[in-house]
């Protein structure tokens, strides 16, 4: 990756996973990510998470690209001085959507209220972080646009095997929309809460880096990063396909150790009863032989 001397003046230039790609390429240039042999790759857990994260953000970006005209979609929007960013920001007539992408391939996701689990393990932090992030976005956009901007936090799961939502998500009075990536477009519907002028003013403010940062940070151009990631992905993909994108390791264990259903309990009971009936003659014969043996010993005395 060439030196990051470019300063982005319009965030529409950012590509999906922009900041994660920059981190990955830095690790690659430093030799901390490298190919080893014909089929191996050296990559730590954090960097592997970044790799899968980029793939997840690209998947969501492909879906958001189908939004109609009149919406503005930004990716990897930097916010604050600690290197954090918003995965995707959508400015639409119905409001602003702050989308946080989570890639859990093949996972079992359940959520309701302030709870969220992935393969039975609590990840309620996703909801809390999304609510906080939307609050920061709302504050900055409202200040930049000059009026109150409605911002909706969204947690979008990519490639989950099962997604179950039994109640709306609420974090301290903030409605968080947890959903699958495929259902995002249904959230960003055609209802109108903002005028065309308001939408334009919000979009213009959202695209300005100084809305989000006091000091602009150099970063490689988005198109360059996209090409570099394509090359990196082509080199790593064969080995990474055998590594674990976040997979449902706990699912098989939960099926084995989990509570039995009513049907399973009935089946076990029936089988147990049959075994007892079949064993009764053998038990009776064994008891008779034992009784004869005891009597024989007594009579012999």
Residue 297 scores a pLDDT above 80: no
Which position has the token pair 């009971």?
Answer: 269
Question: Would you state the structure tokens that stand for residue 17, as one six-digit string?
Answer: 């996973």
Structural contact between residues 198 and 147, judged by C-beta atoms closer than 8 angstroms: yes
d(CA 5, CA 117): 41
Q: Are strands 95-103 and 85-92 parallel, antiparallel or unpaired?
A: antiparallel
Q: What is the structure's pLDDT at 39?
A: 66
Phi, psi (rounded to 5 degrees) for 178: -90, 130
pLDDT in tens, 201-250: 999 999 999 999 988 778 889 999 999 999 999 988 888 876 655 554 44
Structural contact between residues 161 and 107, judged by C-beta atoms closer than 8 angstroms: yes
pLDDT in tens, 109-158: 999 999 999 999 999 999 999 999 999 999 999 999 999 999 999 999 99
What does pLDDT average to over the chain? 84
Domain boundaries along the sequence of the chain: 11-253, 260-300
d(CA 216, CA 143): 18
d(CA 99, CA 181): 10
Q: Model pTM?
A: 0.79
State what percent of residues in the chain have pLDDT above 70.
77
- pLDDT band at residue 192, thresholds of 50, 70 and 90? confident
pLDDT in tens, 5-39: 788 889 999 999 999 999 999 999 999 999 987 66
Which one, of 132, 140, 189, 181, lies nearest residue 157 by Cα?
181
């Amino acid at each position: 990756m060439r030196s990051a001397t470019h300063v982005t003046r319009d965030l529409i230039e950012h590509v999906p996973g922009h900041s994660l790609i920059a981190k990955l390429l830095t690790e690659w240039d430093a030799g901390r990510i490298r190919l080893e042999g014909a089929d191996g790759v050296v990559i730590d857990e954090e960097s592997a998470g970044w790799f899968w994260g980029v793939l997840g953000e690209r998947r969501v970006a492909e879906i958001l690209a189908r939004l109609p005209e009149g919406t503005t979609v930004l990716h990897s929007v930097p916010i604050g001085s600690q290197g954090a960013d918003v995965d995707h920001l959508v400015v639409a007539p119905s409001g602003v959507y702050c989308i946080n992408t989570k890639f859990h391939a093949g996972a079992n996701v359940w959520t309701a209220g302030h709870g969220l689990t992935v393969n039975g393990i609590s990840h309620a932090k996703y909801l809390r972080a999304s609510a906080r992030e939307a609050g920061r976005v709302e504050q900055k956009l409202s200040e930049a646009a000059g009026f109150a901007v409605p911002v909706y936090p969204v947690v979008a799961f990519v490639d989950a095997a099962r997604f179950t939502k039994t109640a709306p998500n609420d974090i301290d009075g903030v409605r968080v929309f947890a959903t699958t990536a495929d259902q995002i477009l249904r959230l960003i519907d055609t209802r109108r809460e903002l005028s065309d002028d308001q939408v334009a003013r919000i979009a213009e403010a959202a695209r300005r880096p100084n809305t989000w940062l006091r000091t602009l940070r150099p970063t490689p151009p988005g198109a360059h990063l996209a090409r570099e990631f394509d090359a990196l992905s082509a080199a790593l993909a064969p080995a990474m396909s055998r590594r674990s994108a976040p997979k449902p390791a706990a699912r098989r264990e939960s099926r084995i150790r989990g509570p039995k259903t009513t049907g399973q309990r009935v089946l076990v009971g029936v089988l147990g009863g049959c075994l007892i009936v079949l064993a009764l003659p053998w038990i009776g014969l064994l008891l008779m032989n034992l009784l004869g043996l005891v009597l024989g010993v007594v009579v012999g005395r």
